[in-house]
Structure 1
Amino acid sequence: MGVHDVIEGKKQWRAHKARVKALPPDYRIVYQEIQRYVFKVGVAEGLGEPPLAGIAEFFEEGAAAGKGVLELIGDDVAAFCDDLLG
């Protein structure tokens, strides 16, 4: 991985974090829990570039539709993560 790749990765990560920050508060809280869970188990591959980009997009669509975050993922965040990773 060259310097250009590192710089580009940081740009993507910052843009991703800005998208997450724009989510409603309940979505941000759940996103942070999902991120913590996924990073803790060490499985971030296959979840988009940057990691969890698909979750951010899924949450953006849910928020735009006026749905609550728990309507999308259910009451158990860990079970949602297990299904996501499984």
Structure 2
Amino acid sequence: MSDVEKSGFLSKVIGPKKRWRAYKARVKELPENHRTAVEAIERYLMHFVPTDEDSNASMFEDLAELFEQAAAGGTPIREIVGEDPLEFVNAFAGNYSEGGYVPARARKQLTDDIERAERAAGNETGREDKTV
């Protein structure tokens, strides 16, 4: 794939560079557990949810805003994503996409990453997060 083709592909996947960088800067400022959850959701969305570049940029910006507000309010991750992170992500992405095929490995990875983010939250506060 040539550099021009890669550039076109990346802009379709992540949208305009400026918006992507701004989104990544916002995510970097999140507390570690919220950042871990956002990065897991981001990874899932980038690989398995087809959208156009404007939808992707809006989707990631909205994801950052959701987790920024949750972190500011002290909202536990499970309260954001619910009991089934896949259901949350698919519903979230449904606002931006018609959906797509998701392999079992990707579903397991997302669930494992969300659980790891929850454990990190329990370690940071010195208590387990029991929110379901």
TM-score interval (norm. to shorter): 0.7 to 0.9
- Identity rate of aligned residues, in percent? 35
> In terms of Rg, which structure is larger?
2
Greater displacement, 22-31 / 9-18: 9-18
> What is the aligned residue count?
80
Structure 1 segments unaligned to the other structure (5+ residues): 2-8
The alignment partner of 1:53 has SS state of helix
Superposition map of 1:1-86 within 5 A = 9-45=16-52, 47=55, 49=57, 51-86=59-94
Report the CA distance between 1:33 and its aligned residue. 1.1
Over 6 Å off, 4+ runs: none
Residues 30-56 of structure 1 deviation map (CA, whole Å, 9 limit, x = unaligned):
111111111111424465635411010
Greater displacement, 74-83 / 63-72: 74-83
Q: CA RMSD in A?
A: 2.3
Structure 2 segments unaligned to the other structure (5+ residues): 1-7, 9-15, 95-132
Q: Kindly indicate whether the alpha-carbon contact (under 8 Å) linking 1:47 and 1:53 is maintained by their aligned counterparts in 2.
A: no
In 2, Cα distance between equivalents of 1:79 and 1:53: 20
Question: Structure 1 pair 47/71, CA: closer, same or farther in 2 (3 Å)?
Answer: farther
| TM superposition score normalised by structure 1 | 0.76
Report the equivalent of 2:130.
Answer: none
For 1:15, the aligned partner's letter is A
